[in-house]
A and B are shown apart, each in its own frame.
Chain A
C-alpha cells in the first residue's frame, strides 16, 4: 500500500509518441502543504506528464509516483488523488448530480458527498441539469467537484482555471491555498505564470519536455535583480555620487531615467540628497516574472508577427 506521505515524485520521466518526444527526462518532487505550479508553454508536455502520473499514459522511461507508489498500486486511487484533466469527458445526457453519483459509487463514498461537492464548487442550483447544456466554466467546476469527491490527499489539476470567470478564479485560488494549508498536496498546471503567480508557492517550469526551473517562486523572483528607476535633476551628478558610494550597475534608460541595481530606493534618495540632486520621480521596478518565464521557455512554437509571417509552416504544430 502507499505510504500516505502526500509526496509526488517524478523521476527521469520520458514519453515518446512515435517521433514526438513529449516529455524528456523530467524530474521533480511536490511536497504536501504547498501549491506547486507546473508551468510551460503550449506543447511543453504538461498534460502528458500529469497523465503519466495518473496512470493514463504509459511512460517510455522513468517513474512517476504518488505516496511512493505508481498510480495503479494505490488501491483506492479515488481516495488518494483527485484530478482535473484537459478535455475530460462527461456524458452529455447525464445530470451533474448523477455524474457525481456514478463516481461516488466507484470511489465508495456516500451519495451525500455528491451534493456536498456540487455546493462547494457553486453548482448546487444546476445539479439536475444535463451536463450537455453546461458552459465551459460549469464543466470545469464539475470536473473539480469530481476530483474532490473522494476527499483526496493529493490534487492534480491541469489548467483548472480554463473557462472560469474572475470570481471562479479568485475562489479557486483561495480554495487551493487553504487545501494545501490543511497539509495536502496541490499540483496545478498552467501555461500562464501570471495566472497562478498568486496561488503557488513552488514552481516547476518546463519547456520542450525538459525542466527549466524548479524551486520556490521567491527564488525565481530573486534570480532577477530588482532595479531602482530614478529621474534626477542632474543625471551625471547622481551617477557620480552613486559610483562614489560603490554602486557599479548604473544604466541610463532611453527615457532619460537612471536604472540602478543592487540598492533600494531609500539609499538612492539619500545619496541624491547628499549630492544636492533633486529627484522628480523614483520607483522600484516590478519584477516581470512573465518576461522571465518567456526567457526560460522561449520559442518552442513561437508565432510570427503578421508582417513577417511566411506562408510556409516552420516548426509549427504540424
Chain B
C-alpha cells in the first residue's frame, strides 16, 4: 500500500474507533424515517383534498388525476436537504475535533505533509458522506413507502435518480463540513456557524432575493445550490409523469421542492462542489500555516 493508502487507512480507523459515526447516524436515520412517514401522510391528505372536486382545474393542467400525482417526491427532496445536515456536522468535526483534542499533533507527526493528512481525511469523509447518504435514502424510503399510496411513489428510475442525488448531496455536504471545520478550528464554533448559516441566514437571504425578484441568484448560493441538486430532480421527476404544465405552476412546484431559483440538478451539484472546494481551500490554507502549540 502506498503512502496515501496508509493515511487513508489511518483516517478510516480514526472514524471507526469512536462512537461518533453511529451517534450521528441514529438521529439521521430517525429524522429521515420521520420525514418519510410525514411525507406520505401529507401527500395523502393533499391528494384527497385535490380529488375532492374544487381543484379540478389544477388536475387538468397537470394532465393526470390527483391520485397519480407523485407528491411524495417533494417531501423526499426536503427530507434529504434536512437530513444531510447530520453528515455535514460529522464532517465539520473531522479537523476541528482533532485540533480541539490536540490529536492533530500526532496526525501531523505521522504524515509526510499536512496536505497528505488533510487529503486522506477528505477521502475518508467522502466515503462516510456516501454511507450517510445511503442510510438517509434507506430510512426515508421505508417511511415513504409505509404511508404512501403506490400512485404517489416514483418508478424504479425515479428511485434510482433520487438515491443518486441523495448520496451526492450527502457527500457534498460532508465535504463542505470538513472545510468549515478546518476553517473554524473549534468544534462548537464550526457546528453553530454551519447551523446558523444553513437554517437561518441563507433562508433570510433567499426571501430577500425573491422579494428583489432575482431568485436565480439563490441557485448559486451554498444552501440554494445543494437544495437545487435534490429539488430539481424531484420537480423533473414529477413533471415527467404530468402533462403540460404552465411556468407559473412549475415555479410553485420548485418552491415546494425547496429548489426555488435553482439550476439543473447537475449544475447545482457543481456549484455546491465549487463552494465546498473554496471552503476546503481556505481551511487548508489556515491549517497549513498554523502553529501547532
Residues of A within 8 A of B (CB): 17, 47-48, 51, 54-58, 72, 74-78, 81, 83, 85, 87-95, 98-99, 101-103, 105-108, 146, 150
Contacts and interface: CB of A to CB of B under 8 A. Distances in A.
Contact of B105 (A72, A78, A89): A89
A56 B1 contact: no
A56 B292 contact: yes
B18 A103 contact: no
Contacts of B102: 87-89
Contacts of B110: 77-78, 103, 106-107, 150
Contacts of B98: 89
A106 B293 contact: no
B14 A102 contact: yes
B10 A105 contact: yes
A60 to B, nearest CB: 11
B18 A77 contact: no
A51 B292 contact: yes
A75 B101 CA distance: 26
B9 A105 contact: yes
Nearest to A55: B108
Contacts of A92: 101
Contacts of A55: 108
Interface in B10-55: 10, 13-14, 17-19
Interface string B78-119: 000000000000000000001001111111111111100000
B123 to A, nearest CB: 14
Contacts of A146: 106
Contact of B103 (A54, A75, A91, A95): A91
A91 B107 CA distance: 12
B113 to A, nearest CB: 5
Contact of B112 (A77, A81, A150): A77
Nearest to A88: B105
A94 B292 contact: no
Contacts of A105: 6-7, 9-10, 13
Contacts of B113: 72
A17 to B, nearest CB: 8
B105 A107 contact: no
A90 B112 contact: no
Q: Which of B13, B17, B106, B292 has the most C-beta atoms of chain A within 10 angstroms of its own C-beta? A: B106
A76 B3 contact: yes
Q: Which of B3, B17, B110, B112 has the most C-beta atoms of chain A within 10 angstroms of its own C-beta? A: B110
A76 B7 CA distance: 11
Nearest to A15: B291
Contacts of B19: 93
Q: Which of A51, A56, A95 has the most C-beta atoms of chain B within 10 angstroms of its own C-beta? A: A56
B108 A56 contact: yes
Contacts of B108: 55-56
B104 A89 contact: yes
A20 to B, nearest CB: 12
B289 interface: yes
B18 A76 contact: no
A14 to B, nearest CB: 14
Contacts of A77: 109-112
A55 to B, nearest CB: 7
B109 A90 contact: no
A252 B109 CA distance: 57
B105 A106 contact: no
9 contacts: A56-B291, A58-B291, A77-B112, A98-B17, A103-B10, A105-B10, A106-B6, A106-B110, A108-B6
Given A54-B109, A56-B292, A98-B17, 8 more contacts: A47-B293, A58-B289, A77-B111, A89-B104, A93-B17, A101-B17, A103-B106, A105-B6
A90 B293 contact: no
The 10 closest A-B pairs by CB, nearest first: A89-B102, A106-B10, A98-B17, A106-B110, A56-B292, A105-B10, A105-B9, A78-B110, A89-B103, A108-B6
B24 to A, nearest CB: 14
B6 A107 contact: yes
Contact of A95 (B17, B101, B109): B17
A57 B3 contact: no
B292 A102 contact: no
A58 B108 CA distance: 13
A74 to B, nearest CB: 8
Contacts of A58: 289, 291
Nearest to A143: B106
A48 B293 contact: yes
Nearest to B1: A108
B13 A89 contact: no
Nearest to A101: B13
A99 B106 CA distance: 10
